[in-house]
Amino acid sequence: MKFLVISDIHCRERVIVWANDLAKQHQVDGFLVLGDITHFGPPSWADDFLSRLDRPSYAVPGNCDPYGTVEEIEKHATCLHGRKMKVGGRTFGGWGGANISIFNTPFEMPEDEILKRLRPVMEREMVLITHCPPYSYNDFTNTRRHAGSIAIKSLVDEFGPAAVISGHIHENRGIIEENGILYMNPGAAKNGYSALLEVDDRVRGTLLEPIPDQ
């Protein structure tokens, strides 16, 4: 299966058009949407956005999405926040929001809560979809500090998923392959960035060229 991966839309209408165009161009089977669909709301914008994507979508909320966004995601997509399921023979599972930050955004939680609630989702060789990246992987901010989740890193180290696909940190777009795990941050869709994830007997990620502002 092949997916177009987008994150950090932040209510940018233009993403809907170019995401559907890229999905057609690359003949993807669906979308992976990594959160921050809205920009501090309204939650209903997530429903509107996902309803206009023309392929099946799997999504988690981001830290800038109010808590009511989960219910809006479920209207037109499969919400993977705290859930796992088989997709094309591979387990996909996810977690939205982020760890506690100085910014006090709507969907933050302590590391111990992330650890407790994400653990039941984890499996070896799964594809893990999170908004916040694991600590030290694609999480380097423009203040030169790591901002990822220690809890997510701990669970990744323990269970060994095939891939960890995360957004959140706009300035640390990239792909890292380490110890058989693919870590990918597609970049912020609000700035035209996206990626492809191909999943069959192995997992491959590709960063796509940015879509220029119109």
Spell out the residues 6+ positions from residue 85 whose beta carbon is closer than 8 angstroms to its own: 78, 91, 92, 93
In this prediction, residues 119-127 reach a mean pLDDT of 98
DSSP reduced 3-state for 188: coil
Instruction: Give me the half-sphere count of Cα atoms (radius 13 Å) on the Cβ side of residue 22.
Output: 24
- Whether residue 58 contacts residue 93, with contact meaning beta carbons closer than 8 Å, is answered with no
Give per-residue pLDDT as tens, 156-210.
Answer: 999 999 999 999 999 999 999 999 999 999 999 999 999 999 999 999 999 999 9
DSSP reduced 3-state for 139: coil
Q: Are strands 195-199 and 2-6 parallel, antiparallel or unpaired?
A: antiparallel
Does the pTM surpass 0.85? The reply is yes
Phi, psi of 152 (to 5 degrees): -65, -40
- Whether residue 168 contacts residue 36, with contact meaning beta carbons closer than 8 Å, is answered with yes
96 closest CA partner among 124, 121, 125, 123: 121
Confidence tier at 214 by pLDDT (50, 70, 90): low
Q: pLDDT at position 57, please?
A: 98
Task: Decide if pLDDT at 7 tops 80.
Answer: yes
Q: Which domains does the chain have, with CATH numbers?
A: 2-207 (3.60.21.10)
Give per-residue pLDDT as tens, 40-99.
Answer: 999 999 999 999 999 999 999 999 999 899 999 999 999 999 999 999 999 999 999 999
Q: How far apart are alpha carbons 123 and 111 in whole angstroms?
A: 19
Q: pLDDT at position 157, please?
A: 98
